[in-house]
């Protein structure tokens, strides 16, 4: 009856212990939010997608965020594994047991000089054994606490890495969106160049028919028109490519057609109003990659403490109860309880080198943390300078397009009036086409530069939210 009670208890308790995959409630459920956008959903909005909408979709659907979030949950489970050492371990075993016993008596069979035995009787029994054992580590000079601290630091590092991944995806989305808009502008500029080249060809052909110019002007005009049409074809191909890249960034097939809203108005960047030294200080405080490195350093320091604790004794307690039943005998129950002091004496210097290894890894992580800090400052400075240059270049490009349009119109009018050469018209036409493309590129550089600087500082989420409607 006692055996049956033990078996019943084990069968009932085992499923209950494994009923939840998070008994300590350590696993995070919701991803940290980078922007103020709506929660993740399955459907793509039917309305035109503005830049913040695309960023929200990318943060929800891009596989990189899913992978980073899985790492966060894995690290959280690591905390649960480390904290398991604070509790006792309980194990139960149940199973059949086949045993055989032989009884010997004196015999004429020679086994050794002066000895002889023969089998008098034998028996074979089929029985059942059941046992329950408990082990508990009571004291270990801080080793368990150090391993828990290390696991928690790893979880903090994983969360920071997730935030860094999210910021990277936000920047990729902004860049891809700006690329689509820039290529759209390039197509428009190329179409305008084709129209202008067609007008020049019509003028040259009309002058040739009137006999006031040579066929060479018409031939040059045709070549110029063909070059403009080639540029337009290439611009349209680049636009399709950038549209596919944007779709992939937000987690959709590259063939997906996206209904995009117009880009927000280009305003001055508030980040340039702040001293670059202050931005570098903000980056050291906000950048998630630097936070991840610092958490890794905390984990490495805890690993040193854990390795040193392995050089010291531990105190543990154990208890065991076992029951056996055989066909030919009565049930047998045995129990034991004890406290043990385990002293590590010598294991080939393995523990000593484990401490040495942990210290070296901590020193390496300290150097990596400082390297990341220095790189963060350089990123801020470089992107600050690049954005300032891009804004100045945009102002110049706007002046250039105005003067180029005026010069092209004058050259075309002079050629029509017969007081200008076709070479002057081609030069003005080429300069206008170049100015249009430079303006498109300058606008792209400023928009992307603002996002890159915000990413370098660690606040691209706020930069994206600043373009939301109503903000």
Task: Report the alpha-carbon distance of residue 431 to residue 428 in Å, rounded.
Answer: 5
Q: Is 296 exposed, middle or buried (0-12, 13-18, 19+ CB in 10 A)?
A: buried
Element (H, E) at 134: strand 115-139
Residue among 9, 370, 308 nearest 147 (CA): 308
Which residues does 22 contact at the CB level (< 8 Å), separation at least 6?
A: 80
Confidence of residue 325 (pLDDT cuts 50, 70, 90): confident
Contact 424, 415 (CB under 8 A): yes
Asked whether the predicted pLDDT for residue 1 surpasses 50, the reply is no
Asked whether the predicted pLDDT for residue 424 surpasses 70, the reply is yes
- When the pLDDT of each residue in the chain is averaged and rounded to a whole number, the result is 88
- 128 vs 413 pLDDT, higher one: 413
- Give the pLDDT confidence score for residue 2 in this predicted structure: 47
Confidence of residue 28 (pLDDT cuts 50, 70, 90): very high
Query: What are the sequence ranges of the domains in the chain?
Result: 27-88+141-313+349-465
Confidence of residue 16 (pLDDT cuts 50, 70, 90): low
CATH no. of 27-88+141-313+349-465: 1.20.1600.10
Asked whether the predicted pLDDT for residue 219 surpasses 80, the reply is yes
Asked whether the predicted pLDDT for residue 110 surpasses 70, the reply is no
- Give the pLDDT confidence score for residue 241 in this predicted structure: 97
Asked whether the predicted pLDDT for residue 17 surpasses 90, the reply is no
- Give the pLDDT confidence score for residue 225 in this predicted structure: 94
Contact 293, 365 (CB under 8 A): yes
Q: In this predicted structure, which of 115-124, 156-165, 319-328 has the lowest mean pLDDT? A: 115-124
Confidence of residue 210 (pLDDT cuts 50, 70, 90): confident
Most confident range (mean pLDDT) of 34-38, 84-88, 104-108 is: 84-88
pTM for the full predicted model? 0.86
- Give the pLDDT confidence score for residue 104 in this predicted structure: 64
Q: Is 416 exposed, middle or buried (0-12, 13-18, 19+ CB in 10 A)?
A: middle
Most confident range (mean pLDDT) of 47-51, 125-129, 305-309, 332-336 is: 305-309
- 251 vs 100 pLDDT, higher one: 251
Confidence of residue 471 (pLDDT cuts 50, 70, 90): very low
Confidence of residue 313 (pLDDT cuts 50, 70, 90): very high
- 15 vs 238 pLDDT, higher one: 238
Across the range 1-16, mean pLDDT stands at: 52
Asked whether the predicted pLDDT for residue 96 surpasses 90, the reply is no
- 8 vs 80 pLDDT, higher one: 80
Asked whether the predicted pLDDT for residue 7 surpasses 60, the reply is no
Task: Report the alpha-carbon distance of residue 180 to residue 174 in Å, rounded.
Answer: 10
Q: Is 288 exposed, middle or buried (0-12, 13-18, 19+ CB in 10 A)?
A: buried
Q: b/e per residue, 63-84, with b = 16+ CB within 10 A?
A: ebbeebbebbbebbbbbbebbe
Across the range 423-448, mean pLDDT stands at: 94
pLDDT digits 0-9 by tens, 240-260: 999 999 999 999 999 999 999
């Amino acid at each position: 009856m006692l055996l049956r009670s033990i078996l019943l208890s084990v069968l009932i308790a085992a499923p209950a212990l494994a009923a939840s995959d998070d008994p300590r409630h350590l696993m995070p459920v919701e991803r940290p939010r980078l922007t103020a956008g709506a929660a993740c959903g399955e459907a793509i909005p039917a309305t035109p997608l503005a830049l913040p909408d695309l960023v929200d979709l990318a943060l929800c659907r891009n596989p990189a965020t899913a992978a980073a979030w899985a790492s966060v949950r894995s690290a959280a489970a690591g905390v649960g594994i480390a904290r398991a050492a604070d509790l006792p371990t309980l194990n139960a075993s149940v199973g059949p047991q086949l045993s055989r016993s032989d009884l010997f008596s004196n015999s004429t069979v020679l086994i050794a000089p002066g000895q002889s035995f023969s089998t008098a009787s034998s028996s074979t029994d089929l029985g059942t054994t059941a046992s329950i054992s408990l082990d508990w580590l009571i004291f270990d000079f801080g080793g368990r606490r150090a391993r828990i601290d290390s696991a928690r630091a790893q979880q903090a590092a994983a969360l920071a890495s997730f935030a860094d991944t999210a910021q990277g995806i936000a920047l990729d989305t902004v860049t891809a969106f700006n690329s689509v808009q820039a290529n759209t502008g390039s197509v428009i500029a190329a179409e305008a160049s084709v129209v202008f080249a067609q007008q020049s060809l019509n003028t040259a052909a009309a002058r040739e028919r009137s006999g006031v110019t040579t066929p060479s002007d018409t031939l040059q005009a045709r070549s110029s028109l063909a070059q403009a049409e080639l540029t337009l074809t290439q611009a349209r191909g680049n636009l399709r490519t950038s549209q596919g890249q944007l779709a992939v960034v937000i987690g959709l097939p590259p063939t997906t057609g996206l209904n995009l809203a117009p880009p927000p108005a280009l305003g001055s960047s508030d980040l340039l109003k702040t001293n670059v030294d202050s931005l570098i200080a903000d980056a050291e405080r906000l950048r998630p990659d630097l936070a991840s490195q610092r958490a890794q350093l905390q984990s490495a320091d805890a690993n040193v403490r854990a390795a040193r604790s392995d050089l010291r004794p531990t105190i543990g307690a154990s208890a065991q109860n076992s029951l056996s039943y055989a066909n030919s005998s009565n049930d047998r129950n045995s129990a034991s309880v004890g406290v043990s002091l385990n002293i590590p004496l010598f294991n080939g210097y393995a523990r000593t080198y484990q401490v040495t290894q942990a210290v070296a890894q901590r020193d390496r992580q300290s150097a990596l943390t400082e390297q990341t800090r220095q790189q963060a400052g350089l990123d801020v400075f470089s992107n600050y300078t690049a954005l300032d240059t891009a804004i100045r270049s945009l102002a110049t490009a706007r002046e250039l397009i105005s003067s180029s349009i005026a010069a092209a119109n004058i050259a075309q009018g002079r050629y029509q009036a017969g007081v200008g050469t076709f070479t002057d018209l081609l030069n003005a036409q080429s300069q206008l086409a170049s100015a249009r493309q430079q303006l498109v590129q300058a606008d792209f550089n400023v928009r992307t530069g603002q996002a890159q600087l915000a990413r370098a500082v660690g606040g691209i989420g706020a930069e994206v939210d600043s373009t939301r409607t109503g903000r």
